[in-house]
Amino acid sequence: MFRKIISSHSKSKTRKFVSISHHSTNYCYYDHSAPPSSPSKHISPRQKWLDITPTSLKGFNRSFSAGYQLNSTQYSGSNSNKRNRFSVRRGFSSETVRECINYDVVIVGGGPAGLSAAIRLKQLCRESDVDLSVCVVEKGAEVGAHILSGNVFEPRALNELIPQWREEEAPISVSVSSDKFMLLTEKHAIPLPNPFDNKGNYVISLSQFVRWLGQKAEELGVEVYPGFAAKEVLFDENENVIGIATNDMGIGKDGSKKDNFQPGVELKGRINLFAEGCRGSLSEKLIKKYNLREKGQGQHQTYALGIKEVWEIDASKHKPGAVVHTLGWPLDHKTYGGSFLYHMQDNQVSIGLVCALNYHNPYFSPYDEFQKLKGHPAIKPLLENGTVIQYGARTLNEGGFQSIPYPVFPGGAVVGCAAGFLNVPKIKGTHTAMKSGMLAAESAFGVLNKGSNMEIYWENLKNSWIWEELHRARNYRPAFEYGLFPGMAISGLEHYLLKGRAPFTLKHGKPDHEATDEASVSSPIEYPKPDGIVSFDVPTSLYRSNTNHNHDQPAHLRLRDPQVPELVNLPKYGGPESRYCPARVYEYIADDKGELKLQINAQNCLHCKACDIKDPKQNIEWTVPEGGGGHYFPAAVVLAVAEMGGDETGGGVAAAEIGVVVAVEIDVAAFGTAFGVDESVGRLRVCAWVGCWGENGGWI
């Protein structure tokens, strides 16, 4: 029997346990005590951030939120025979027939754009008294798991989507209290006129916000499938998109099917919306297949890499709502980028460095530049005596207005950052991503309910405030192609005098991968060694990212030509993949003959997509790994579900529940120091991700 925590239908914080048969295929909860007239309510696994339950996977093989198949044979047996329970049996067999599920709308990606689209669709259904089936598939172990906290949030789109969000207990409470903009030199921070208008904005945890959006979507009847990665676009005989297929799970490195093999599932939609985020693997294929970039604004997309940490600092240094942005040091004058520092709640700050990926020097290391930044005299005192809680990295779209693709293709559309609606001078894209999802949802609803066509999405985009906002900001990013100070002069002219109404539109420079100079004309860069106080080595940061991939699976980072690294990248560019990756996925290691060979540590991957963008010969292809893998950013450091009494009842959970997100009780006296919990609490029930404490008290 398995247990799950569910919420009662009231607004209270009460939780209760419900037993679920080991072989049960129904994970929807129905309150039999409710009046007959009240509809049954689908309870989300994350109805609050601390609700830990499997989402209903209507119609196909059930997996829990970490993406592990619930296998009664594999997990049966006595506790004394744990090793045998996890033995891996392999077998090669013919292709497995995938199960197929049909929906009205399939949405790929459980971020702000995808969830906003799902919510808007269900709102329109209620307004028109129609019922459309909507599902969201998300590759993270849970909604929000791949989103690192720390965001200055503009609520414009949220005000339109859920006007009563304050009453709905959205995790948005810290308003911007101060806003500074500085030019950094190596030793000084020079205040500049602030071009950011953050009045009315909030400093939030984007991870918690997305979890809340997921809850709202499920309350409206959206089916959310976390832990499933969309691997393939499905087409009909006329090359119309008809859905996606998730990847097979339980495949070994050698291509054999392991004992826990689970075939992928085909999710077919009458309309399919791709909201995968920046450089989405399937979205990029669709953009190329249908020439959407050329049909849109015409210019190539440009990117930046953002590297971020969340710190807990001394309360005396914490200023909730304080926002700081910088330009200049540690970047050279030819490299566009800057840093940010946001004071969130609970004595936490989010600090990061954004580096444009069209930098020239192949010896440039974004990770080491970020570590160097934290040693600046204006930043280091704030972080000293603090603790790093999270680390992560992600690429950003910086092409803006000039790079918007035509977003509609036969059978669906591209939305959010997969299309590229980031406002570069604002350093904000959540509000535009949400709005684009809402507009796509309204167009999809018109197609399904009124017989219109998806091209209306493009027209609505051009008539929306997204278009107006990005058009005003179109010349900021390309202005810095001329260097830091010319870029500041041009962008200042745009902001203060022309106000985005310049009679010209600047073009972007070379694509990022073509901008890399050869090593022979570049100077190596000496970076200081980490001090272990504010700067750290890569393995330490990786540990803080909670990155986890099953080692025994096919590599999701693929070389189109295996000879390019040794024959081109290393001799011509000095092996830049060993430096542009913020997780040291790529290393050149000497073989038995002393020759350097590229080693790919795919298990370290942060899913930032920098390699897919910056490789000089575009030889690296990023594909999705098994669903549920990658980094994992919890909503809080310790997911405390309920305080228990100080007695010794409860204990652990049966070892048979390994591999399932379960609620377990730990002895705080034994683990309190590690979790920072007062021993007086007694016992605490917490979430254990992909593992549990066995009855003997050991971690499995």
The residue from 608, 683, 687, 692 that is catalytic is 608
The one catalytic residue among 278, 611, 687, 692: 611
Worst-scoring range by mean pLDDT, 146-155, 284-293, 463-472?
Answer: 146-155
Catalytic residue among 46, 211, 279, 394: 394
Model pLDDT for residues 52-63, shown as the tens digit of each residue: 233 333 333 322
Which comes out higher in pLDDT, residue 165 or 1? 165
pLDDT at position 551 is 84
417, 581, 687, 692: the active-site residue: 581
Whether 87 has a pLDDT exceeding 80, the answer reads no
Is 417 an active-site residue?
no
User: Does position 572 have pLDDT exceeding 70, yes or no?
Assistant: yes
In 3D, which of 513, 412, 440, 425 has the Cα closest to residue 470? 425
- Quote the CA–CA distance of 682 and 698 in Å, as a whole number: 19
Catalytic residue among 149, 205, 395, 403: 149
State pLDDT tens for residues 586-622. 999 999 999 999 999 999 999 999 999 999 999 999 9
The residue-averaged pLDDT of 675-698 equals 37
**pLDDT at position 293, please?**
96
pTM: 0.79
Which pLDDT tens digit goes with each residue over 476-513? 999 999 999 999 999 999 999 999 999 999 999 999 99
Query: Which pLDDT band holds residue 529 (cuts at 50, 70, 90)?
Result: very high
Identify the pLDDT of residue 148.
78
The average pLDDT across 74-90 equals 32
Catalytic residue selected from 63, 205, 430, 547: 430
Q: What is the band of 97 on the pLDDT scale with cuts at 50, 70, 90? A: confident
- The residue-averaged pLDDT of 626-649 equals 47
Verify whether residue 28 is a known catalytic residue: no
pLDDT value for 633: 61
Q: How far apart are CA 280 and CA 677, in angstroms?
A: 39
Tally of CB atoms within 10 A around 697: 11
430 counts as catalytic: yes
Map residue 222 onto helix, strand or coil: coil
- pLDDT, tens digit, 9 for 90 and up, residues 180-209: 999 999 999 999 999 888 999 999 999 999
Average pLDDT estimate for 546-564 = 91
* The pLDDT of residue 629: 73
Beta-ladder partners of 589: 597
> Running DSSP on this structure, what letter comes out for residue 113?
H
Known active-site residue 135:
no
pLDDT band at 696 (very low <50, low <70, confident <90, very high): very low
Q: Report residue 564 as tokens.
A: 């390019």
611 is an active site residue:
yes
Instruction: Check pLDDT > 60 for residue 31.
Output: no
The whole-number pLDDT of residue 349 equals 97
Q: How confident is the model at residue 698 (pLDDT cuts 50, 70, 90)?
A: very low
For residue 635, what pLDDT band results from cuts at 50, 70 and 90?
A: low
More confident residue, 174 or 680: 174
Task: Give the Cα separation of 320 and 684 in Å (integer).
Answer: 29
Instruction: Kindly give the pairing relationship between strand 412-414 and strand 408-409.
Output: antiparallel
Q: Label residue 627 by pLDDT band (50, 70, 90).
A: confident
Read off the pLDDT of residues 445-472 as tens digits, 9 standing for 90 and up. 999 999 999 999 999 999 999 999 999 9
Is 156 a residue of the active site?
Answer: no
Mean pLDDT of 372-386: 98
Within 10 angstroms of residue 513's Cβ, the number of other Cβ atoms is 18
Q: How confident is the model at residue 658 (pLDDT cuts 50, 70, 90)?
A: very low
Residue 149 bears catalytic tag:
yes
Q: Are 368 and 343 contacting, i.e. CB atoms less than 8 angstroms apart? A: no
Band of pLDDT at residue 634, cut at 50, 70 and 90: low
Contact indicator for 591, 514 with CB cutoff of 8 Å: no
Question: Among the options 125, 278, 417, 605, which is catalytic?
Answer: 605
